[in-house]
Amino acid sequence: MSEAVANPLRVNLVNRPVPDPCVVVIFGATGDLTRRKLIPALYNLAADGNLPSSLAVVCFARRDKTSESFREELGEAARKYSRRPVNDELWSRFAANIFYHRSSFDQADGYTSLGNELDAIDERLGTRGNRLFYLASSPTEFDVILENLRASGLSHAKPGAWSRLIVEKPFGTDLPSAHRLNDAVAAAFPESDTFRIDHYLGKETAQNIMVLRFANTVFEALWNRRYVDNVQITASEPLGVESRAGYYEHSGALRDMVQNHLLQLLCLTAMEPPIDLGADAVRNEKVKVLQALRPLTGEAVARNVIRAQYTAGFINGREVPGYRQEPGVAPESLTETYVALRLHIDNWRWAGVPFFMRVGKRLPKSGTEIAIQFRGTPPVLFNRESKLQDPNVLVIRIQPDEGISFRMAAKMPGAMLQLEPVKMDFHYGTSFGKATPEAYERLLLDAMSGDATLFARRDEVEHAWRFIDDIRAAWHDGAAPRLDFYPAGSWGPREADELLAQDHAVWRRL
């Protein structure tokens, strides 16, 4: 980045770091992620003028293709998945710097020839030896790719250049596998050059959580055990397991969603203000939240975790099968498609405040949100027992319809003193009409610029796995909870409602 900083014409043009010229090397480039997300994201960055002056993409995969044929395939994908219409001339200039490198992941020669190709690209296009390696392959291939990157010397940055790694989730399937993966990563790349993608962190609303909390006096002052009754984090979707049964049967909702996305949202919601907005300052605070999470083991799992699976039901009036009837799912499957948890963060700010989390498939509607439920007013004046008022709720909607709403009480017009809850509602789409960039655009740009703030650090991932593994261990030890069931199209099992009832709380209806 030194050249970009030294460029006096760059000053004050944009208020973000300028990405360095580089080559993006995508491993497993023939997969869906490259077509649906990565290439459209890179194209949109090009269309916005956000790419560095020189950028090339090398697609590393096993299948027999040529650069020309692969460019055509990617062109079709870009036209289908890009958030903006594709400009033919821009695409052809962008695509001219996409190259297909055919090799199996375990073939040492393939990495030697990759190195030669990258050097030639540097010479031809001025990419200055900067490499961004993207692991978009199956996780089972990560080890061999990392080992070959290390052995071939490609992971080692050349003098004055950088070599970075982007890893797609899942970052392991449990703590030991996460350790192994992280060790393999660390053997090839320093942590400072490792970017673990959790695309939730690239979403505008997730980024806005810190802004809401730390750029507004009023919220942070109330953001603690004195005023907050409970916090509810929900990720619901009406979709079933679709074509992912093979993966989902092994993963389940806890590992698929809670270990990464939901715990990340929890961290952003509960963390202390960082000393600055740098990557490590922010991630240090997130890690402290995970460290303060009260571990759930043995009987505590039974008391605080509900796991369930959907049975046949109706979504939008359409009959849908139960999970065990889905193609690719074992008829006796015990995989959870729904999890509800009651968590406690044992620190000064949050002691005694339950954090409820739920994630589920085949729920009535799609939505991810964080709801801060405030304490009620004292039982005098308006909040007497006969006329209990709904407490204030601040809701941060992550997706869809990103926005923030606040519920409060207001007097209904008329001679009677009648109070009704009303909602102040801010919708991103209403206020800011322009299309927001896809999460992958922001994350790729940040990785090219070396900003790791929106990426998960090793210790975050491992702390999250430690917490999740305890729960899974209790499930497998037979220490309960049992698997409950809920009909598709409902808001989850009755037991999840009872979990909240113990704290005199109820789940929000989205």
Partner 1 sequence: MTAAPAISPGLPVEVGDIDRQLGLLWENSDAAKVRASLVNLVIYSEAADAIAANTPLLSAIAADHAFRALLVQGQPDAGKSGVHAWITAHCHLREAGKKEICSEQLTFQLDGPAAGRLPSIVFSHLDTDLPLYLWWQGDLHPDPDPELWRWVDRLIIDSHSWSAPARQFRILQEVQSLSRPRSALCDLNWTRLFHLRYAVAQIFDLPAALERLGRLDHVDIAHAPGHRLTALQLLGWLASRLGWHLDHGGDGPVFRRRDGGHVVSRLHEERDASACVPSVRLGLGDASASVRREENADYYLAEFTAPDRAPFAQMLPAGREKTSDILLSELSRISRHPLFWPSIRAIEPLLS
What is the binding site for partner 1 (CB under 8 A)? Answer: 3-4, 6-15, 18, 21, 46-49, 52-54, 87, 89-90, 93, 124, 126, 128, 429-434
Catalytic option among 261, 344, 476, 504: 261
Q: Which is nearer to partner 1, 9 or 380 (CB)?
A: 9
Length of the chain: 510
Question: Shortest approach of partner 1 to residue 369 CB, angstroms?
Answer: 18
Listed as own residue / partner, the contacts of 249-253 with beta carbons closer than 8 Å and 24 or more positions apart are 249/328, 249/329, 249/330, 249/333, 249/335, 250/173, 250/335, 251/170, 251/173, 251/335, 252/307, 252/335, 252/336, 252/337, 252/339, 253/307, 253/336, 253/337, 253/338, 253/339, 253/359, 253/360, 253/361
Q: Which is nearer to partner 1, 7 or 69 (CB)?
A: 7
> Which string of DSSP letters, residue by residue, matches 369-405?
EEEEEEPPPPSSTT--GGGPPPPPEEEEEEESS-EEE
Smallest gap from Cβ 296 to partner 1, in A, equals 40
Nearer to partner 1, 93 or 303 (CB): 93
Please tell me the number of Cα atoms within 13 Å of 215 on its side-chain side: 7
Q: Which of 484, 233, 229 minimizes the C-alpha distance to 356?
A: 233
Rounded-to-integer distance, Cα 151 and Cα 107, Å: 11
Place of tokens 């208020």: 15
Contact between 42 and 85 (Cβ < 8 Å)? no
Q: Which is nearer to partner 1, 33 or 125 (CB)?
A: 125
Minimum gap (Å) between residue 95 Cβ and partner 1: 12
- In angstroms, give the least distance from the CB of 97 to partner 1: 10
For the bound state, the minimum distance from the C-beta of residue 40 to partner 1, rounded and expressed in Å, comes to 17
**Residues contacting residue 213 through CB under 8 Å, at least 6 positions apart:** 219, 220, 223, 273
Phi, psi dihedrals of residue 444, rounded to the nearest 5°: -65, -40
Please, which residue, 34 or 97, has the CB nearer to partner 1? Answer: 97
Provide, rounded to whole angstroms, the least separation between the CB of residue 345 and partner 1: 34
179 catalytically annotated? no
The burial class, CB within 10 Å (0-12 / 13-18 / 19+), for 57 is: buried
Of 267 and 444, the one with the shorter C-beta distance to partner 1 is 444
Q: Catalogue the active-site residues.
A: 261
